[in-house]
Amino acid sequence: MPMTESILVVEDEEKIARLLQIELECEGYQVSIAGSGPGGLEMYQEQQPGLLLLDVMLPGFSGIELLRRIRASDAHTPVLLLTAKSSVEDKVSGLDLGANDYITKPFQIEEVLARVRAALRLAASRRTAETDREPDSWLRAEDLELNEATREVIRAGRSIELTPREFDLLVYLLKNKRQVLNREQIMSAVWGYDYYGDTNVVDVYIRYVRKKIALDNGSELIHTVRGIGYVLKDNP
């Protein structure tokens, strides 16, 4: 982990923000703190940090709104949500807007540090893959086409909009076409090896991607293998 990796903490509770700053700086990160949605957006734009720790409940505007504004122009910088909400639905809604992971309050600082390391490692590996990749490379299955470099997804000539997480999931399925993948494999590859979340999140995102790439004739590319997981394959 580079000693100069920068992290922006957007948290209005001063004690929590200070605790995170102290612990992260002890790990060698450079840490900045903002206490509101507008303040976080301004610091993000000025500093372009390597990772954001983002509280959901913020003055000015919410962490979810800040996340939405960041993801409008930046699909790659890791964002970890800090939230007091614990239901799967609330967590999935944040992830669906482009967050890389969530951390439920109250948290153990060791968990925060582990998730930060995992998110930064995953981001670094993706940057390396993008550097090594041919700029015009496409992944295909039947009439579905995906370009990793331009992040285009097309099926039967129709452009499809995916969130960053949905895109990563579809890339992994296409790269492992015809291979049956269990939920743990998918979660490790798409969410990161140190991800602590419930594997039910995989099922939710499979549904999202299936719906978005579906055709009116009902032709399915992503198939459920009962008791195991999922496989993407051409239809016979």
Q: What is the tens place of the pLDDT at every residue in 158-193? A: 899 999 999 999 999 999 999 999 999 999 899 875
Answer yes or no: is 1 within a domain. no
Q: How many domains are contained in the chain?
A: 2
Does residue 171 share a domain with residue 68? no
Q: pLDDT band for 75, please (50, 70, 90 cuts).
A: confident
Does residue 125 share a domain with residue 152? no
For the cut 90, the answer to whether the pLDDT of residue 37 exceeds it is yes
Q: Supply the CATH number for residue 106's domain.
A: 3.40.50.2300
Tokens of 186: 């998918």
Which of 95-99, 128-132, 175-179, 189-193 bottoms out in mean pLDDT, i.e. has the lowest? 128-132
Tokens of 32: 């900045």
Does residue 78 share a domain with residue 34? yes
Does residue 223 share a domain with residue 144? yes
* CB atoms inside a 10 Å sphere around CB 22: 11
Length of the chain equals 236
Q: What is the pLDDT of residue 104?
A: 87
Q: pLDDT band for 1, please (50, 70, 90 cuts).
A: very low
**163: domain range?**
135-232
Of 131, 151, 184, at which residue does a domain stop? Answer: 131
Q: What is the pLDDT of residue 132?
A: 56
Query: Which H helix or E strand runs over 143?
Result: none
Does residue 147 share a domain with residue 112? no
Q: Supply the CATH number for residue 216's domain.
A: 1.10.10.10
Does residue 174 share a domain with residue 104? no
Does residue 34 share a domain with residue 87? yes
Of 112, 131, 150, at which residue does a domain stop? Answer: 131
CA distance 101 to 111: 12
